[in-house]
């Protein structure tokens, strides 16, 4: 019955010449503006709009952030907290939608707001989200664009930014409101354009994260899905990421990318127990390097359906350039970002840390466990796979077998009748 178009702005910073001096990372950024516009889902008529400023508690409003968002400290100084903003949104939804027995669904430009930023920040600040925000029903405009394009293969997109979409569709960008409401109303113009074609699968089937979680728990799944992984992520980096949070996967797969121009990749991780898989979901929004990772429920059926699209992770990146302040651990050789005071893999201290090293992660992570602990497990060799029997760190159990194909050599579980890779 109702569509709630939601947009947030968050603190941010950038310093290409000296990354170690960055004051705000993607892992500690805070929402500073929350805007929403409510539509009648049938007529797409605007019913209500609201903009709420939020005062950051742990990160500064940098000059870079002001330049990008147009938001100044004078607007935030007397603003409320994130909890206040969520309560204000919740009060509107309870009074004007739920009490009226209306159904509703969110719409965002990208999944970052509802699937990464809001869950991660609320968890960090011990703010309890209403169930419909914690596990939402939502349309992602970018995904709906992809569905629309299936019906219009003659249309090519330079990008899915609001600016480029408006240029392509010859739509007006709204510019006379605050930055958040401008984004909401511009998104609405695009929604109206896409739905005017009346395609049977565009803005019809929302993402239902609550249903996904219920199914995950019901079948006691051991599988999670990772999205937003750095393109050159290695097996060791993923192992260290999980190990630093007390988790040890049994198997890790990557979905083989078909488009090397994309900046990120996705994959699946299998755990020994459902309890570990549930714990892994709490890593949603945490950063691997400088990228926030989306962690969500999945199942063995999805992995099986992916079939030969899955490959293993490489032991080494094909190319890895040290950025200013980055360092290679002298103890284990692991490549660490400038912001780390301790090696992400073996806990060895950086002999020459930058002044800001260790400050970004201290609220979320203790230093990683010592190198003497058991290593995480997982298959090796995607991207850099060169044939022959690869070196695996998966425990070889009775009945497991190596593919006899000399160009493959993949380790298969006993339950498989044919090689999972070839």
**408-421 pLDDT, tens digit each:** 666 666 555 566 66
pLDDT category of residue 275 using cuts at 50, 70 and 90: very high
| Nearest CA-CA partner of 343 in 358, 356, 322, 354 | 358
322 pLDDT above the threshold of 60: no
Share of the chain above pLDDT 90, in %: 50
> Comparing 128-142, 173-187, 361-375, which segment has the lowest mean pLDDT?
361-375
3-state secondary structure of 145: helix
| Token code pair at residue 263 | 């900046």
| Token code pair at residue 346 | 């073996």
User: DSSP secondary-structure letter at 117?
Assistant: I
pLDDT in tens, 53-78: 999 999 999 999 999 999 999 999 99
* Predicted model pTM: 0.69
Helix/strand/coil (H, E, C) string of 46-115?
Answer: EEEEEEEEECCCCCCCCHHHHHHHCCCHHHHCCCECHHHHHHHHHHHHHHHHHCCCCCEEEEECCCHHHH
Domain ranges of the chain: 2-195, 218-312+375-412
**Do the bridges between strand 327-328 and strand 335-336 make them parallel or antiparallel, or are there none, so unpaired?**
antiparallel
Asked if the domains at 2-195 and 218-312+375-412 fall in one CATH topology, the answer is no
Q: Please state the CATH superfamily assignment of the domain spanning residues 2-195 in this structure.
A: Ribonuclease H-like superfamily/Ribonuclease H (3.30.420.10)
Neighbours of 343 (CB within 10 A): 24
CATH number for 218-312+375-412 (one of 3.30.70.330, 3.40.710.10, 3.10.640.10, 3.40.50.1820): it is 3.30.70.330
């Amino acid at each position: 019955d109702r569509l709630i178009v939601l947009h947030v702005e968050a603190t941010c910073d950038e310093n290409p010449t000296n990354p170690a001096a960055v004051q705000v990372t993607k892992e500690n950024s805070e929402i500073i503006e929350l805007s929403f516009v409510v539509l009648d889902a049938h007529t797409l008529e605007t019913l209500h709009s609201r903009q709420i400023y939020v005062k950051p508690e742990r990160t500064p409003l940098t000059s870079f952030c002001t330049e990008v968002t147009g938001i100044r400290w004078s607007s935030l100084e007397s603003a409320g907290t994130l909890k206040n903003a969520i309560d204000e949104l919740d009060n509107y939804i309870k009074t004007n939608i739920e009490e009226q027995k209306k159904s509703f669904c969110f719409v965002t430009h990208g999944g970052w707001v509802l699937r990464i930023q809001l869950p991660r920040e609320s968890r960090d600040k011990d703010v309890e989200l209403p169930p419909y925000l914690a596990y939402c029903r939502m349309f992602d405009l970018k995904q709906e664009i992809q569905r629309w394009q299936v019906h219009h293969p003659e249309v090519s997109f330079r990008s899915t930014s609001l600016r480029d979409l408006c240029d392509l569709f010859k739509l007006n960008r709204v510019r006379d409101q605050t930055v958040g409401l401008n984004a909401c109303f511009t998104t609405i113009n695009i929604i109206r354009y896409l739905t005017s074609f009346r395609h049977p699968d565009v803005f019809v089937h929302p993402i239902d994260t609550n249903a996904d979680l219920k199914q995950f728990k019901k079948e006691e799944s051991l599988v999670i899905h990772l999205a937003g992984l750095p393109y050159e992520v290695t097996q060791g980096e993923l192992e260290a990421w999980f190990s630093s949070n007390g988790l040890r996967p049994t198997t890790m797969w990557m979905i083989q990318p078909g488009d090397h121009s994309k900046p990120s990749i996705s994959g699946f991780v299998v755990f020994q127990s459902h309890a570990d898989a549930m714990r892994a979901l709490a890593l949603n929004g945490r950063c691997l390097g400088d990228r926030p990772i989306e962690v969500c429920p999945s199942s063995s059926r999805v992995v099986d359906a992916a079939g030969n699209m899955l490959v293993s992770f490489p032991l080494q990146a094909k190319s890895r350039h040290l950025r200013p302040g980055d360092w290679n651990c002298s103890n284990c050789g692991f490549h660490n970002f400038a912001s780390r005071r301790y090696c992400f893999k073996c806990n060895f201290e950086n002999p020459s840390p930058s002044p800001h090293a260790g400050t970004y992660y201290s609220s979320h992570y203790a230093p990683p466990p010592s190198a003497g602990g058991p290593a995480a497990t997982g298959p090796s060799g995607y991207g850099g796979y060169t044939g022959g029997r690869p070196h695996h760190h998966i425990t070889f159990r009775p009945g497991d077998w190596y593919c006899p194909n000399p160009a493959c050599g993949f380790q298969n579980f006993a339950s498989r009748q044919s090689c999972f890779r070839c």
